[in-house]
Amino acid sequence: MITKTVKDAAAALVGIQDGMTLMLGGFGLCGIPENAIAELLRLGVKDLTCISNNAGVDDFGIGLLLQKHQVRKMISSYVGENAEFERQLLTGELEVELIPQGTLAERIRAGGAGIPAFYTPAGYGTEVGEGKESREFNGKMYLLESWLKADFSFVKAWKGDTAGNLIYKGTARNFNPMMAAAGKITVAEVEELVPAGELDPNAIHTPGIYVQRIFQGSHYEKRIEQRTLRST
């Protein structure tokens, strides 16, 4: 079986260039590719288009790339926890495309499935629908939305094998599986890397066919974005 293992994040990001479109898995700070983001910072690549559910927070996740002005455009659903994102948006430093969360997920899934466009009712009659084709189906109006694809997709999994098969843990699954299918080159970082054949085939969330490079991450902070405590 083909081994897709690379040594580390530096080896996994070979070929990254300025101006590329990247997908970064995760939801909030859950299931984000921390090692890949750290390597993007080290490389200093710029003019990036980043497709992610959110933009991290000011000092973590994609927020770190924003601080270094490496991102030219964000395609996201929710960005409310990042003050630097807000500042760059309001000053015109950052181009932003905000998309309803379900539409974002489906546009990514469509990219991975080879479906160039689809109709959805989400956003019709709002700013989301401005300039987009619309059509009536069964008495209801729908917007035409196009697929999303990327030069590189970076995903984070709990466990993977050397053939690229991945298992996500709990809510860290989120956007990772669909992004894994939508990248020309998909890089998976995992907490635990095992030999091919050790994973239960019925437990695999992302088949290795979608993954080109995989490595075991060296450190994960696993921050909590919003900690809420109950008074005792």
**What pLDDT, on the 0 to 100 scale, is given for residue 223?**
77
Q: What are phi and psi of 130, to 5 degrees?
A: -65, 125
Is the predicted pLDDT of residue 100 greater than 80, yes or no? Answer: yes
Say how far apart CA 78 and CA 104 lie, in whole Å.
Answer: 11
Cα 111 to Cα 157: distance, rounded to the nearest angstrom = 20
Sheet holding 134-137, edge to edge: 117-120, 140-146, 134-137
Does 52 reside within a domain?
yes
**pLDDT higher than 90, residue 205:** yes
128 inside domain = no
Q: Could you tell me the CATH number of the domain that includes residue 112?
A: 3.40.1080.10
Any domain includes 32:
yes
Smallest CA-to-CA distance from 75 within 92, 91, 99, 93 is with: 99
Q: Is residue 3 part of a domain?
A: no
Strand partners, 216: 190
Query: Is 91 part of a structural domain of the chain?
Result: yes
Element (H, E) at 89: helix 83-91
The pLDDT value recorded for residue 82 is: 86
Structural domain count, the chain? 1
Residue whose structure tokens are 């580390």: 8
Quick one: average pLDDT of 137-146? Answer: 97
* Domain assignment present for 222: no
Determine, yes or no, domain membership for 106.
yes
Percent of the chain topping pLDDT 90? 85
Domain with 187 in it: 9-116+147-216
223 within some domain: no
pLDDT score at 232: 74
Tell me the per-residue pLDDT of 40-84, one tens digit each, with 9 for 90 and over: 999 999 999 999 999 888 889 999 999 999 999 999 998 777 889
Share of the chain above pLDDT 70, in %: 100
Average pLDDT on 118-145 reads: 96
Residue 148: CB atoms within 10 Å:
24
In angstroms, the CA 61 to CA 43 distance is 16
Read off the pTM. 0.93
